[in-house]
Amino acid sequence: MFQLLSHVRPVLAALAVLSLGTTAAVAQPGGPVATRLVSGLQGTIGSTVGPDGALYVPEGAVGRITRVDPKTGAKTTFASGLPRAIVSIGGAIDVAFLDETAYVLVTLVGFDVGGSAVDGIYRMDGPDSFTVVADIGAFAAAHPPHTPFDLPTGLQFALEPYRGGFLVTDGNHNRVYQVRLDGTVTEFIAFADITPTGLEVRGDKVYMAEAGQIPHLPQDGKIVSFGPRSPVTTVAAGAPLLVGVEFGPGNTLYALAQGIWNDTFPGTPAEPDTGSLVKANADGTFTVIVGGLDRPTSFEFIGTTAYVVTLTGEIWKIDGVSR
């Protein structure tokens, strides 16, 4: 999805004109059904479940974090004043809580897209005040990857708590950073040109979604696992343009596929209504739980219910997901 942005401005400008639409989510026979919970969000990619059990979704286009009641869909502003997206995708892209404090991942607001803000992790100090904890963009620019890239500061995609700090994927630089609360940034692991996206952590083991190289063929959409002392292992493969991975009911691993990619510019999203929520099977394959999702970008589980955030500013509720 966010691979080699060799045409950064045209690509992201194209994303800017995506229209809000209704999805044609299709459940498998006898399976769970998706219903729209929220619409009207602006610039949505990441999400998390907060310590209060609510959903928290960054709106990169307007520089805020929105709290969503998972039962009613009621929206309230949790935080504002963050750097806004400059080129449609970017700004506040993901959020996570550590010791009940919110931390926000901000990307594509630096010099390489005409901005002057910091690409990195911001700690929320108040409803409209933040402190920059780590300047990931500066680290990325000073330590370029071994794979081809177009953005010196990278394109950070997902944020996940890990060992008292965070892990962060960089979809443009094909690597995962480890970030400590003292601001130290190191390269945790580097990959070939596979476009890392979503993250999930269980103990020391990290699970990561790979969107794969263009044209994002299903066989290149993978969940892999790795750790400080364990090699990269493929957990499951076979879903087009994976953007997220989460543990769900029954300690089962699920993934989010944005869908069929049929474009000419790197960085553009999948075709509308081709995304799916999939379950990882023991034999390394995926089973589709709900298809027909419209350009999903992240998802969370609360009990047996999945909440899917889309690029079109919607949240879809999928009840009754089980193993």
Which amino acid type is present at position 56?
Y
Length of the chain: 323
Residue 43's domain comprises: 8-318
Residue 323 lies in a domain: no
Give the pLDDT score at 68: 98
- Show the tokens assigned to 234: 């493929």
Which residue type, as a one-letter code, is found at position 67?
A: R
Segment 216-255, tens digit of pLDDT: 899 999 999 999 999 999 999 999 999 999 999 999 999 9
Domain count, the chain: 1
pLDDT given for residue 30 in this prediction: 66
pLDDT band at 27 (very low <50, low <70, confident <90, very high): low
**219 vs 236: CA distance, rounded Å:** 10
* Domain membership flag for residue 233: yes
Band of pLDDT at residue 21, cut at 50, 70 and 90 = very low
CB 220 within 8 Å of CB 209:
no
Structure tokens at 76: 């309230």
270-276-282 Cα angle (round to 5): 125
Distance from C-alpha of 247 to C-alpha of 299, rounded to nearest angstrom: 11
- Residue 152: name the closest of 200, 107, 205, 206 by CA: 107
pLDDT at 264: 65
Q: Is the omega angle on the peptide bond into residue 83 within 30 degrees of 0, that is, cis?
A: no
Q: Is residue 1 part of a domain?
A: no
Residue with tokens 């933040």: 130
- Distance of CA 213 to CAs 27, 64, 218, 268, Å? 28, 31, 11, 12
Predicted confidence (pLDDT) per residue in 45-97, tens digit: 999 999 999 999 999 999 999 999 999 999 999 999 999 999 989 999 999 99
- Mean pLDDT of the chain, nearest integer: 91
Tokens of 223: 């969940």
Look at residue 312 and tell me if it is in a domain.
yes
- pLDDT of 197 over the 80 cut: yes
**Mean pLDDT computed over 11-38:** 56
What's the rounded Cα separation, in Å, for the pair 92 and 85? 7
- For the domain that residue 175 is a member of, what is the CATH number? 2.120.10.30
**pLDDT recorded at residue 22:** 37
Residue 16 lies in a domain: yes
Least confident span in 1-10, 26-35, 92-101, 265-274: 1-10
Answer whether residue 2 is part of any domain: no
- The residue written with tokens 């993934």 in the block is 255
